[in-house]
A = this chain, B = another copy of it.
């Protein structure tokens, strides 16, 4: 089920791409994906960069991102082990798209806030 009579292009989204869509739009992944944007990062670097995400979630998400081919995981067999994560082309592409969204938010935020104020004002009288 889920979205039957909706415009095409959406239907496409909510079946095969559903999984991917949810990955992208959940809280953790975006934040984490942003982290290695300027070059590969070690586990603890990502953790510090994101700050506010537990290690449990972090490793979980990193695994997911790997599995979807958005980042790569490189292990250097030494003691202590060094593991670094880097964006793939796919991941970069996604970030590019998300820039569209963050850009839109940046541009329109003021309008949205204005709308909120108007809405609240209306509520006040009525």
Contact = CB atoms under 8 A, between A and B. Distances in A.
B13 A102 contact: yes
A78 interface: no
Interface in A72-126: 90, 93-94, 97-102, 104-106, 108-109, 111-116, 118-120
A6 B35 contact: yes
Given A100-B97, A115-B90, A38 B3 contact: no
Contacts of A97: 100-101, 104
Contacts of A104: 93-94, 97
A114 to B, nearest CB: 8
B52 A16 contact: no
A69 B34 contact: no
14 contacts: A2-B52, A3-B49, A4-B51, A5-B51, A7-B34, A10-B102, A12-B102, A13-B102, A16-B109, A22-B27, A67-B115, A69-B111, A69-B116, A90-B108
Interface of A: 1-7, 9-10, 12-14, 16-17, 20-22, 24-27, 31, 34-35, 37-38, 48-52, 66-70, 90, 93-94, 97-102, 104-106, 108-109, 111-116, 118-120
